[in-house]
A and B are shown apart, each in its own frame.
Chain A
Amino acid sequence: MNKLMRSALLGAAAAVALSFGALAPADATTLQEVKDKGTLVVGVKADYKPYGYLNSDGEIVGIEPELAQDVAEKLGVELEMVPVVSSNRMQFLEQGKIDLMIATMTDRPDRREVVQIVDPNYYSSGTNVMAPKKAGFKEWTDLDGAPVCGIQGAFYNRKTQEEFGAEIVAFKGTSEALTALQQGRCVAFVYDDSFLISKLGEDEWSEFEMPLQTIDDAPWGLAVAKGADDFAAFMSDMIKEWHKSGRIIELEKKYGVKPTPFAEKMHKEYM
């Protein structure tokens, strides 16, 4: 074996060892540890208005940051927020970079294997449409025969077409679909309601609304690291408290979101 080959192999071995080191889970944060260090580090979205976004002063604000604030207050510690994105939020939790994650994450079984998703779910999102106020849609069946923009491969395209009779005009990405909607190529855009809510918050879309009842509701889960059982139990009580007091609905109203059926249902359930 020549020298070059050997050093290459050594390098590869070192890289493997390093990545294993990085992958080894940090000790799960316990409640006591958070109280001891005096700060709670929460991973939130910073690009998903109104759930977590940057205001004009560059601060992270929104529904989820407010929930994070509630948790910090309850614990009597300082709050530190770390912006996360979908592709790194679970890793941050695993590596101990954040103690808690409230970041618009859909609750799925495969995710429950990686992080500890706290029951009950705190929020949910489903499918809705964004349409010009002028169109005056009230029911899904109003879309019968209407050209409706969508995203290629989305699972609700078929339902919108088969059950409600819409003609789906599906594009590759959201920007193309939104452009087509703006140019009048279609009369509505069928997509994830939380995304639509965030778009409707922008001035550009002030003439549009989300008029229909959300369908295909999927719950969102906030999460702590695997093994942080006492923290999870604490968060579970916290979520129940939010539902009971109507805190979620209150925040929705504060950020201009029409109360979602899920939030209303949970409020009734825990009241």
Chain B
Amino acid sequence: MEWSWAFDWAREFYRETGINLTFVYDSFDRDRLARGFMNTVYLSLICLVLSVLIGIAGAWLQGSKLVWTRRIVQGYIQFFRNTPPLVQLYFFFFAVGSLMPTYENRFGMQEPMLDNFTWAVISLSFFAGAFNVEIFRSGIEAVPTSTVEAAESLGYNRLQTYRYIVLPLAFRVCLPALNNNLVNLVKTTTLAYAIAVPEMLYMANQIWSDSVNVPETMTFLLFAYVFLVGLLVWAMHSWERAMRLPGYGR
């Protein structure tokens, strides 16, 4: 598609109004902001999926008969829920990251395994995962005991009960809370810029430092997040509607 009219328009707009949309007409700025946007999308998607998986697994382990399994899950939740995500990122990248085995990169240097993007995925997934465990627990506890007993009397074992009876019901009950936490997760990905992950805020920061067009870039950033989170909320709401339980609210 031919876009040069848009670039010309942005340049003209700058001349007439002084509003400098470098990320529209400057190809370097445009590319890096687009890359930042895509990185935010990737980071969010990967963390969303992983954190939900961690939540499901954690909530199941929380109901384990083994006391140590329960304690470990509880310890994990306490660690990740009680520390700020920014501190976690720094801790993982600079402290734990430096203990990782190294490999030789193409410049002949020893580089630690797992790059900053991977550490951001690990840290943010476990951070949101800790909340998800508690969210799923709230859903599981809302499933009536009589329902679980009915499943047991039909010969379901613990895993089968969890998978076919408890989780689907629990999932529906805790979806609104899960929705909240996932929205928060998408917004928390901006913290990854502290460890130089080139996501949207990182790129925007560099653009407005170069061209001193802070209000313009800030505004774009805000709308981009409204769009991204709006998309997520819309998807989650459709899911909520599709899984509607008659007699259980909307």
Contacts and interface: CB of A to CB of B under 8 A. Distances in A.
Contacts of A172: 194
A152 interface: yes
A158 B28 contact: yes
Interface size on B, as a range, is: 20 to 34
B180 interface: no
A134 to B, nearest CB: 6
Interface stretch (A79-87, A93-101, A183-191): A183-191
B202 A152 contact: yes
Contacts of B196: 149, 169-171, 180
A245 interface: no
Interface in A176-209: 176, 179-180, 183-185, 187
A162 to B, nearest CB: 6
A155 B202 CA distance: 14
Scoring A154, A170, A184 by chain B CB atoms within 10 A of each residue's CB, the highest score goes to A184
A183 to B, nearest CB: 5
Contact of A152 (B28, B110, B206): B206
Interface in B17-59: 28
A153 interface: yes
Interface in B78-106: 94, 97-98, 102, 105
Given A171-B196, A176-B94, A185 B112 contact: yes
A34 interface: no
A124 B195 CA distance: 32
B209 interface: yes
A155 B193 CA distance: 18
Contacts of A179: 94
A158 B112 CA distance: 26
B206 A185 contact: no
Contacts of B97: 183
Contact of B111 (A153, A162, A171, A184): A184
B109 A134 contact: yes
Scoring B94, B102, B116, B205 by chain A CB atoms within 10 A of each residue's CB, the highest score goes to B94
A257 interface: no
B183 to A, nearest CB: 26
B107 A183 contact: no
B206 A158 contact: yes
B102 A184 contact: yes
Given A158-B210, A180-B196, A184-B109, A170 B94 contact: no
Contacts of B205: 152-153
A162 B28 contact: yes
B155 interface: no
Interface in B200-216: 202, 205-206, 209-210
A43 interface: no
Contacts of B112: 183-185
A132 B209 CA distance: 28
A135 interface: yes
B108 interface: yes
10 contacts: A135-B107, A152-B193, A153-B209, A158-B28, A162-B28, A176-B94, A179-B94, A180-B196, A183-B97, A184-B112
Interface of B: 28, 94, 97-98, 102, 105, 107-112, 115-116, 193-196, 202, 205-206, 209-210
